[in-house]
Amino acid sequence: MREDSDMRHLDTVLVANRGEIAVRVIRTLRRLGIRSVAVHSDADTHAPHVTEADTAIRIGPRSATDSYLSIERILDAAKQSGAQAIHPGYGFLSENAAFARACTEAGIAFIGPPPAAIDAMGDKIRAKQTVQAAGVPLVPGRSDPGMSDADVHAAVLEVGFPVLLKPSAGGGGKGMRAVTDESRLDEQITSARREARAAFGDDTLLVERYVTRPRHIEVQVLADTHGTVVHLGERECSLQRRHQKIIEEAPSALLDDDTRRRIGTAAVEAARSVEYVGAGTVEFIVSAEKPDEFFFMEMNTRLQVEHPVTELVTVIGGQSSAAQRGIDLVEWQVRVAAGEALPFTQEALAIDGHAVEARVYAEDPARNFLPTGGTVLAAYEPSGPGVRVDSGVTAGAEVGSDYDPMLAKIIGWAPTRSDALRKLDFALAETAILGVGSNVAFLRALLEHPDVREGTLDTGLVERDLESLVATTDTAPDEICIAATLERLLAAEPDGPIVDPWDVPGGWRLGEPAWNVWRFAISGEEVEVRVRGRAVDAEVSVRSRTGEAGNAEPHREHGRTQGRASAHTDGNTLTVTFRGRTRHYRYAHADGTTWLAIDGQVRALSEHQLLADRSASAAGSGGAVTSPMPGTVLVADIEPGQQVQAGQALFVVEAMKMEHTITASVDGTVTEVHVTKGQSVDLDQALAVLSADSTQEA
């Protein structure tokens, strides 16, 4: 920390957030010699940001509304702790002008822009009007304040399909709808308003022309209170699912030097137009077909999730021998809030190398990225030169539907883009989160996509190729089952010398050893693994569960894979050799489920989970209607005895401010309803039971 007089009065900062961003801010504060204060809900009592901070204060129950979104409780915690400033991170209250004003009125510095700038840019309609006056180009559309549903409908027809319905307040894809024709327009308007109101407390919508093959380019800006505004280059954020970014990089492979200069200048002018102070991001949409044209989308008046890629490639000092690679944006947020002037000009900033970031989410890409959940049994993160990890997850953490599903960010830096992609892929291969389903294997598959390798991206790439991307994450199920079986066999074998052969679950008997059998549900089928001998030298056979059970000799025609295998454990690593090939797995076991991780792929293998039992919960031919994710029931408009048709909406379940509509898969009758509006539900929990029409059953 530099001995600047402006910083001397700032010795305690409260971090009004949670998860990886709270941990990241706390670590910068520690490096600056500033005491940190964490706040937490009951759900986060033992969370990493709580243990990292110098002081932690409980501010409420699990509900974000009564904790991380409570201005009163956060300000009370700041007063209790003696904090002179509050860092809001991103999300929650980070773009809430009322919170920024309340901080000022309480005599506490808000580490962010002035409330007026938040107001101007937080309302997308007003933001477009403001930057347009500053000469920043806009996408064609309608953003009249206070448009009714009928007005929005008319505006869509005026702008022409395809269009985007977007909330005026907030971001992150919440409340956003792509509309391609008029058939479901009114339904989409209603749904977009409901989701926007739940996420931001404001259901105002605007209409924009949908740019074909759009690329999402954003520019990082930094401004002080002395009139200096600079940009730190652009980030490419085109790889998205459900309008939410998943992989970002800096710089963009799309822009040439002239466009890079012009888009940076436009971002600076947008910031100047609202007298911006602090770190912010100006987002643009660029057509892949016309990369020299860009249009303003919005400005995020806070730190972005993807800010690490900018930090890693920014050089201060140009090409001089005293040049410094890397910048800490959180540090400069704090320094600017303390009144310091930026010590560098635009001419002193340059880009060095390439950085790519992947967001690790608790979600299932194979189920349309629906949130998962559970208890983290173990978490392993990569390290090494050129690898950065911003994480908010540790063993024992509960991942539920209360907050955003992002668990961590893995970032790779290298001198070239291709090397940075390779570095990130290698880092993801070493990443393992056991106990909670995540998207790590999907991220690796996405990085291997030919268009991603070539840099020919657009925001629709993931959706177009989702089926193939998900399919490539499902590899070598037989080897996974063998590893799980040997882990269970090792767990059952006694420690120390063997005295009584009956103590060893190796199938010992007079004559030839018997077979021990394990059954696992994997990839939609039940796999049976037979093993005889000890784990250090066993004979194994894998087959589908179609043959004779028990200790009978397996018939070769029913088998899929067989051979000799051996296994041993060292700490949390399971080493398995099968057919001369040795592989190393991270593993954990809980509640009858074995979790195995290798090369970024994590499998949860449940023992004795029969396919007949699994199919009974499916609604494909009637039966139970289940929740595809943990969350809260927003809509439950059915009752026993009601007739429903295939495709009819039965429930709406919300998790992390995202809605999922559950529909009837067949024509039939509702025989049971198990949940009501407002009720919390778990993954695969039964919501209702349908009886299919006899004609469909036939």
Here the CATH number for the domain that contains residue 228 is 3.30.470.20
Extract the runs of DSSP E, i.e. beta strands, from 115-170: 141-142, 163-167
Establish if 28 belongs to a structural domain. Answer: yes
How confident is the model at residue 327, as a pLDDT?
95
Read off the pLDDT of residues 492-501 as tens digits, 9 standing for 90 and up.
Answer: 887 655 555 5
- Domain co-membership, 446 together with 386: yes
Establish if 466 belongs to a structural domain. Answer: no
What is the amino acid identity at position 38?
A: A
CA distances from 538 to 535, 542, 561 (A): 6, 13, 14
Domain that holds residue 171: 140-209
Establish if 548 belongs to a structural domain. Answer: yes
CA distance 114 to 119: 9
CA distance 248 to 309: 8
Last residue within a domain, chosen from 209, 241, 269: 209
- Domain co-membership, 376 together with 422: yes
CATH of the domain at 175: 3.30.1490.20
- Domain co-membership, 120 together with 268: yes
**Average pLDDT of every residue of the chain:** 88
Establish if 29 belongs to a structural domain. Answer: yes
Last residue within a domain, chosen from 544, 579, 611: 611
- Domain co-membership, 230 together with 378: no
- Domain co-membership, 292 together with 389: no
Tokens found for residue 594: 């074995």
DSSP letter for each residue of 103-169: HHHTT-EESS--HHHHHHHHSHHHHHHHHHHTT--B-SEE--TT--HHHHHHHHHHH-SSEEEEESS
- Domain co-membership, 270 together with 122: yes
Establish if 471 belongs to a structural domain. Answer: no
- Domain co-membership, 125 together with 244: yes
- Domain co-membership, 66 together with 118: no
How confident is the model at residue 607, as a pLDDT?
77
Establish if 376 belongs to a structural domain. Answer: yes
Confidence at 48, pLDDT banded by 50, 70, 90: very high
Establish if 106 belongs to a structural domain. Answer: yes
- Domain co-membership, 376 together with 319: no
Q: What average pLDDT does this structure show over 615-643?
A: 74
Establish if 324 belongs to a structural domain. Answer: yes
- Given a contact cutoff of 8 angstroms between Cβ atoms, the answer to whether 451 and 468 are in contact is no
How confident is the model at residue 501, as a pLDDT?
55
- Domain co-membership, 598 together with 654: no
- Please tell me which residue, 289 or 548, carries the higher pLDDT value: 289
Read off the pLDDT of residues 102-157 as tens digits, 9 standing for 90 and up.
Answer: 999 999 999 999 999 999 998 888 899 999 999 999 988 898 888 999 999 999 99
CATH of the domain at 28: 3.40.50.20
CA distance 303 to 307: 7
Can you give the pTM of this predicted structure?
0.82
CA distance 532 to 530: 7
- Domain co-membership, 359 together with 303: no
Q: In the chain, how many domains are there?
A: 6
- Domain co-membership, 83 together with 37: yes
Q: Which helix (H) or strand (E) holds 576?
A: strand 573-578
What is the amino acid identity at position 556?
A: R
- pLDDT of 694 strictly over 80: no
Tokens found for residue 229: 């505004």
Read off the pLDDT of residues 634-681 as tens digits, 9 standing for 90 and up.
Answer: 889 899 999 999 889 899 888 766 677 888 888 999 999 999 998 888
Look at 51-65, 258-272, 295-309, 393-407 and tell me which has the smallest mean pLDDT. 393-407
How confident is the model at residue 203, as a pLDDT?
92
Last residue within a domain, chosen from 579, 611, 643: 611
In degrees, rounded to 5, the angle at the alpha carbon of residue 280 between the alpha carbons of residues 279 and 284 is 150
